[in-house]
Structure 1
């Protein structure tokens, strides 16, 4: 088993990694999907990848991948190490890892890197779903 603290700690080792679509290399390049997948892979929780998505992923297919690969949970129950799916213009297209009661870490194209910050009301309004990764306790 992996603890929530271990998962968040591994995700934080990716801070400041430059954003790049479908990137999967710590310190060199990653996107929001890559951050989630590679954090889980580093801890031995997964052994797969998926790269069949456009620069702005189709919300339907990203949600389908999330529903298939993780366990949906109520948004209100999301805690550290859980994954949030965000919707821009009502289309779920972005992933972030919860790091604390009011914080997330994610590879964000606008900031051009992996960042960690507080979830303000603007961000909170965009949450479309929450997920738990099997093997994290």
Structure 2
């Protein structure tokens, strides 16, 4: 089973992948959810759920937390203050909006970092600066089991 450091290292292997909405192919294209699906595929095989078509503003009109609910179905929730490399972090981009950005934490502490697919930038590793940390609303870890 993948260790947290295996997951963080694999996420870093996606850096440089161009941003492509609804894609999940390392080196060819990914969005933030595609990055997580791609990592799942690397470690476990087929993704556990077929994703329905979604738009960049998905579920904003309804206010439903589709991404949060989906992550909770397949990953293990963790306390927000229990940060570790390899964690999947879920972010709310606007205070009153739904949580719709996700990444993988690669470093913890004051020099915290995360890998995410960011529109206009592709898959990048960014400092987990205070403006990013304030957006985190949930933290998950990949399960210990094979699917």
Q: Same fold (TM over 0.5)?
A: yes
For residue 45 of structure 1, report the CA deviation from its aligned partner. 6.2
Distance 1:92 1:14 in 2: 22
- 1:87-127 alpha-carbon deviations (Å, 9 max, x no partner): 0223200001000111100111142x000011111111111
Aligned-pair CA distance for 1:75: 1.0
Q: Extract structure 1 runs of 4+ deviating beyond 6 A.
A: none
Structural mapping, 1:1-137, within 5 Å: 1-44=1-44, 47-52=47-52, 53-58=54-59, 60-89=65-94, 90=96, 91-101=98-108, 102-111=112-121, 113-135=122-144
1:22-72, Cα deviation, whole Å (9 max, x unpaired): 111111110111111111211226633443232233251111101111111
Bigger Rg, structure 1 or 2: 2
Cα offset, 1:129, TM superposition:
0.6
CA distance 1:128–1:50, change in 2 (3 Å):
farther
Aligned-partner Cα distance in 1 for 2:142–2:38: 13
Matches of 1:15 and 1:40, distance apart in 2 = 16
Relative distance call for 1:63 and 1:88 in structure 2 (3 A) is same
TM-score by length of 1: 0.90
Q: Show structure 1 runs of 5+ residues with no match.
A: none
